[in-house]
Every structure is written in structure tokens, then in C-alpha cells.
A and B are shown apart, each in its own frame.
Chain A
């Protein structure tokens, strides 16, 4: 019995020694990019629905940020709301409520932009999630994935997406896609190639009725 108790004490000591190293290893960081260009602003309510779903699924200690994609997306100014949830569940719930309110305000006041800088948004997302240091890194792109850059903007650079999951949500078909579906398929293939070339995993989810696969 005494031997058993000694083993237990030794085990407890070892646990305490290895305590701090694993903080954040099981956390997840989600960065959601919302396209606000052109007519896509009409889809914002859907984005709000997705944000609420993600909020309901995140745990204490996780990180979440929502940013808009507009003419120049590679800037902190584009981040609508961001939070690293507290470790305490009750405080994390309060933070989720505040986050939801901020996003609600954004949806009400969002204006459409002339251009769509998806690459800039992705770069910003990579930077944010790397800084957050979460165990799992997910980038959600709520967009039709049609990038339109303002003249002078340089975005043909490789993306460092090693360890990232990039999920394109609600990739709507444009009028031209209906005429020639190859454009739509090529567009998706282009982004898939860019993400996978950067070491990331690529997924597309268009059925917004079933959001469970997002954080699976």
C-alpha cells in the first residue's frame, strides 16, 4: 500500500514537472475571411450564421478572428473582431457574446468594396494564427474566390500554409461560371493548388445547412 502511494506521489510530481509545456497544444485558432466585394455583401447574413456556429463550437483557450476581404486585405484594420478566449468557461461565454455583438454590428454596417484581395487576407490570417500559437489553425474563406486586385498590388507570392487548413465556404457561381463552368472549376483548382503548394489542406463546403465538417 505504501509502495503504491509512493508511486502515486512520484507520478503526481512528474505530472507537475511536465505541466506548462502543453498549454495551447490542444487549442484551435480560426480566422474567417468575409468577402465584402460587389454583390457578395448580400451573403453576409449567411456568414453571420457560420460565425455563430463556429462560436458555439469553440472551447475556452481557442482563438477566433473575423476579417473582411476588400481592396487591400493585408492589414490589421480589416479585422472586424478577434478574441483569444479565456481559460475559464464562464468568462469565455461572456467573450463569445461580446464577439457576436461586434459581428452583428459589422453585418449591419458593412459596405461593399470595389476589389477583392483574397491573398492579402490569407497572408493576414497566416500572420494572426501563427502569432496566436494554437495547435490547430483553420482559415475560413467566405467568398466566391474570384480575386480582383487593384492595379499596383503585388500578390503573386507563395503562401506559407504548412499546418493550416483552408476551407472555402459558400463559393457561389458567377454569371460567367454558368456560361462556362470551367471557369468555376479552374478557379477552385487554382486556389487548391496555391494552398497545397504552400503545405496547407484545402476543402470546399458549399452546403451551409450542414456546418459540422468545418471544425471536424
Chain B
């Protein structure tokens, strides 16, 4: 190759000749080469810009879709909340206002009793005896110095005093009775006040619920208006839900791992300790399957209880079937929890057996097993084995939130990625365009000598006025 390039004995001369040859060739091919470079860069830029536009459209569509999904989810959640609130209001009306007739009847009875007591307690002054006027007439008889009259008057006086005492006694007695009646009225008044307060509380509770419903309705109305504020609010809420539910799911995974460790070892007794399935121990897979079944049962239970809404089929079941499903899933969960408690107990026994065997194999000393306090770990393991399946039931709640919010989060991520891709494509398009221009200039730089000559020749052919005009234009 070097021999071919060395066209003269002197390398410098060879390079110079080649340079001149290439310069001439490049000068001849200048126009087509420029067109090629410009056309290449332009087509590259157009292709990239077209791609960027498509990606931007996809991003817009995805953003719109995200917005629709977000608003739909928000509306659905608001509907659920309103539905729940209405159910609560209905329950409150059924529970509390249903007592109103009874309360009213009770109030009427109390008021009647108070009225009767009141009537009984009216103070009626004792009437003077009817013969008191006759006595008064006799008392006005003038012959007072007559002993006969005096004795009669004395007798009358004594009778009068006696009658007076009797009347006073009677008055006092009736007054006491009336006072007693009034004292009896006090608890009735208190009962009436208490009943009225209860009625007031019921009405107040209903009023508060109505306010909550109003608030939810307002929220629902905002969502229905498809405003940007509503979308931002829902996005923020979704992200919060995503991270919180993710955190709770991590905790649940921790719980599931503890559960796995509790039952994996004793499962070897059932399915063998050294059998592999797809590279994993059969006992480990069996333990995992049990945990997954528990989680699945938990999902069904939560669905049947209408706490979550992952399976529309379960939510659409009639109430009788749903209640049956609740009991069936609870029964299976209870059975699995009991099995796990048994496995946890077996695990402890196996661990003790292993420890005893290793000790007897590796040490010459007589085997002494300190069993004091062993029951605590055994009981703790059994307790955990029983409780953890029920605890895993509640995974359904964060799982539902996680799935729902992950749709939004993934959508936001997708939009972000598409936006970044659009920016990158535009950048590359522009770079291609400027690279084309740069290459054109580099090309001209390589053939600066013939270009300079061309310019000189052209200028020499032009008239002096044209040159001056061109120079002025250059400046």
C-alpha cells in the first residue's frame, strides 16, 4: 500500500502530490459533495424530528390516557366514599331515628306523669267549716255575762280551736303530700332532659354526616369538572399511596419471610428434605405455596367483606353467597393457621433433635439438654405460626392501593420517558443538521487553495464598482 502511495522517491513530495491531486478532485466534486452532505444532514434531521413528533404525540396520548384513568379512579374512589357515607347515614337513620317514635312515646308518658303530678300538687286552701258563720252569730249574742251563755261560748271556743287544729293538721299533711309529688317530678324532668339531649345528639350526628357527604360531593363535583387542579391533586395522592402501600408491602414481605422460615424446615418432613423442583427445594416451594394460598384466601376474604375491590365477580355476588364465602375462606384460613402452628411446633422439635444429634456426634461428653425455658420459644413460634396467616390477610388492602396507584406511577414514568426521548430525538436532529453544515465547511477548508484561486479569478473579472459594492456588503 505504502509503495502504491509513494509515487516519488521523496515521501514529502509524494504527500504533496497526493494532496494536490485530492484537492483538485475535491474541488471538482465540491457542488455534488455539498449537496450530498446537506441532503444527508437534512434527511437525518427530518427523520429524527418526525420521530420526535411521533413520540411527542404518543406522550400526549399517554398523558391524556393517564389523565382519564386518574380522573376515573378518583371519581370511582369518591363514589365509593359517598356510597359508604350514604350507607352510614342510612344506618344512622335506621338505628337512631327509628328510635324516635319510642322516644316520643316515652317523652309523652313522662310529660303526662309530670302533668298529673302537677295537678295533684296544686295548693287548695282548706275551707273553713260551714258552721263557723253560725258560731259567729251566736258569738254576737249580747248576754255575755250569762254563765249559761259563757259556758256555751267556752264550749264553742274549745270546739273551734280543736277544729282549727284539725284543719291546720290536714293542711300540713296535704302540703307534705304535694311536696312529695313535686320531689317525685324531679327525676321525670331529668329523664325528659336526657331524652331531649339524646335526640339532639342524634340530630347532630346526622348533621355531621350530611356535612361529610356534602364535602365528598363537592370533591366529586371538582373531579367531574376535569380540572388540572383535580388531576394534580389525584396524582399527588396516587404517588403518596404508591409509596405508602409499597412500604407496607415490604413489611408484609418481611412477615411472609418469617412465616416461610417457620414452616420451610418442618415441610421437609412432609415432602422430603432433598428433592428439587426446578432447582429449588420442594419443601421451600411447598412452604411458599402455603403462604401464597394464605395471601390468596386473605384477598378473597377482604373482597367478600367488601373492603377491597380487586375482583368484580366477588363484589357482584349476592349477600347470602358472599357471607358463605366469608365463612368458607375464614375456615380455610383458620385451618391453615392451625397447620402452621403445628409446623412451628414440629420445627422446634426437629431443631432440638438436630442439636442433640450433633452434640452427641461431635462431643464425648454426656448429653445434657437444658430444657428450662424451651416452652417460651416453642409457644412464641406456635403463636407466630398461628397469627401470621391472619396478619397476611391484611396484605390485600395495601396490595389494592399498590396496583391502583402503580397504574398512575407507571403512566407518569412513561410520560417522563417519552418526553426525554422526544428531547433526545430533537437534539440528535439538530446535531445532525449542524454536523452537516460543519462538514460542508470542513470540506471547503480542505480545498481552501483552489477556492481562494477561484475567488481571485472571479474578482479580477468583475468591474471595480462591483468589487467596492461587494466589499461594502461584506462590511
Contact = CB atoms under 8 A, between A and B. Distances in A.
B361 A61 contact: no
A55 B361 contact: yes
Contact of B311 (A1, A92, A93): A1
A213 interface: no
Contact of B362 (A15, A53, A93): A53
Nearest to A16: B277
A19 B280 CA distance: 10
Contacts of B403: 1
A23 interface: yes
B269 A18 contact: no
B310 interface: yes
B417 to A, nearest CB: 23
A22 B275 CA distance: 7
Nearest to B299: A1
A87 B273 contact: yes
Contacts of A78: none
A23 B275 contact: yes
B357 A60 contact: no
B311 A14 contact: no
Contact of B276 (A23, A56, A92, A96): A23
Interface in B295-329: 296, 310-311
B329 to A, nearest CB: 16
A133 to B, nearest CB: 13
Contacts of A157: none
- For chain B, the bracket of interface size reads 20 to 34
A173 interface: no
Interface string B13-50: 00000000000000000000000000000000000000
B292 interface: yes
Contacts of A53: 361-362
A22 B277 contact: yes
A179 B310 CA distance: 84
A88 B268 contact: yes
A157 to B, nearest CB: 34
Interface string B335-368: 0000000000000001001100110111000000
A56 B274 contact: no
Contact of B274 (A26, A52, A97): A26
B272 A27 contact: no
B274 to A, nearest CB: 3
Contact of A56 (B275, B285, B358): B358
A90 interface: yes
Interface string A39-54: 0000000000000110
Nearest to B296: A5
11 contacts: A1-B403, A5-B296, A15-B285, A22-B279, A60-B273, A60-B274, A87-B273, A88-B272, A88-B273, A93-B357, A100-B361
Given A60-B273, A89-B268, A96-B361, 16 more contacts: A22-B278, A22-B279, A25-B276, A26-B276, A27-B274, A53-B362, A55-B361, A56-B358, A59-B273, A60-B272, A61-B275, A87-B268, A88-B269, A90-B269, A90-B353, A100-B361
Interface of A: 1, 5, 8, 12, 14-16, 18-19, 22-27, 52-53, 55-56, 59-62, 87-90, 92-93, 96-97, 100
Name the 5 nearest CB pairs between A and B, nearest first. Answer: A61-B274, A87-B272, A60-B273, A22-B276, A52-B361
